[in-house]
Chains A and B, each alone.
Chain A
Amino acid sequence: VSETSHVGDLQLQLRASPHLKAPDSTPKIMWNVVGSLVPVIAAATWFFGPSALLVLVAATAGAVLTERAFGQRGSLGDGSAAITGLLLGLTLPPGLPLWIAFVGGAFGIGFGKLVFGGLGQNVFNPALLGRAFLQAAFPAALTTWPAATTEWAQLRGDNFAFPFTTPSVDAVTEATPLGLMKFEATPTDPWSLMIGATGGSLGETAGLLILVCGGYLALRNYLNWRIPVSIFLTVALFQGLLFAIDSTRFASPLFALFSGGLILGAMYMATDMVTSPVTNAGAWIFGIGIGFLVILIRTWGGLPEGVMYAILLMNALVPFINRATQPTPYGSPGRAAKRAVQEAEA
């Protein structure tokens, strides 16, 4: 794209236009996402102790090493494998054996991204695919939520279990707020959900913090704000309708918004540029679809949490959303004009 021409002692660089370039680059976007996750990781460590860091490191190592081993040369530098590993780690319970987290990261990158041809080609969010695989392969380990302990430095659960052994430590467990709501119809106070003092996966508890970090990305245009906004609005309206019908059976909209992985999913998973629609109209449709599916699965499905499957399902629909929301080129005849042409011909 570039060569140099010499005229006298002048050196002229020849290259194709444009001669200026917007300052954002793909690696810059990706590393900014990683940076914005740092406060979330810190919060996870604050609530769940060193176990949180161990699980995150294991999941990220699985993702990064797989990208290194099988990915294209130099593709580590764009940071997308690190994001996949961190996001996967944030959806896992703190007491998870580390080898499971590692396998999840490796599966997410290997089968979620590399088999499709690497960055930009994957249909599904690799982090969520890794989690879906773990959920199917190790359902018990993935739904063991250690109870809060008073000792911060104590490991939560059996992090160092050898592969395929049964846990040697009987971890004290507690139900997540969504599990309590679904199976015992006990809502949790929304305020403790917002600040994160509940059981759950590493990164899903501190709702307000994730909102702030995601908001930073939205301000810098590193994520499309229409996706989280439409998800939140749909969840609030749909759940509000259910709550208005029967407030004893259904959870309040505030509980629905701040419980489980909804905020993490809406801010970080659904907005993955590769697996979300390219058009803004498509982004609205995508978000509304996720919001509906989340409430459908949470309320009438067999699982307490539906964010993961809701996003994966909508990921599969993205090519169709893109096709349906193609922009209309400037100067194209509108519907009325087309009809007029048809009538004139007839």
Chain B
Amino acid sequence: VIMGGPMMGLAQKDMDVPIIKGISGVLALTEPAAILEEEACIRCGRCLEACPMFLNPSRIAAVVRSEDVDPLPGLHVLDCFECASCSYVCPSNIPLSQMFALAKAGAQRRKQQAA
């Protein structure tokens, strides 16, 4: 059971969640989605074509994996709004948008520590 749409919606843990006015929809998917094995990035460039913000998801993901935070602002990771189009098209099932959510949270934390 998912609150919101199929791309960005959140899977719900139990049924006692209230519907509030910001909820765009409730989805009940009956088929359990196949758990897809993650594979190596083959640099097909589909995530670049899919990104509505014209970011470079494959490059950002490589940087996030290397845990090197310095290049992230230059790659505009904070412009990502986690629409998950990149994760959707990725033929290697790389959880791109989750990695960006992580990177954004990390950036926020560093900003607070610096302040």
Contact = CB atoms under 8 A, between A and B. Distances in A.
B42 A273 contact: yes
B88 A22 contact: yes
B74 to A, nearest CB: 10
A27 B39 CA distance: 9
B41 A120 contact: yes
Interface in B81-97: 84, 87-93, 95, 97
Given A13-B11, A26-B39, A330-B79, A21 B93 contact: yes
Interface residues of A, number: 43
Contacts of A27: 39
Contacts of A174: none
A274 B42 CA distance: 5
A190 B31 CA distance: 56
Given A1-B35, A278-B58, A29 B91 contact: yes
A24 B49 CA distance: 15
Contacts, number: 130
Interface residues of B, number: 48
A26 B54 contact: no
Interface of A: 1-2, 5, 7, 10, 12-22, 24-29, 78, 118-121, 224, 273-274, 276-280, 322, 326-332
Contacts of B97: 17-18
A16 B98 contact: yes
B92 A12 contact: no
A329 B93 contact: no
A17 B86 CA distance: 11
A327 B55 contact: yes
A18 B8 contact: yes
B45 A330 contact: no
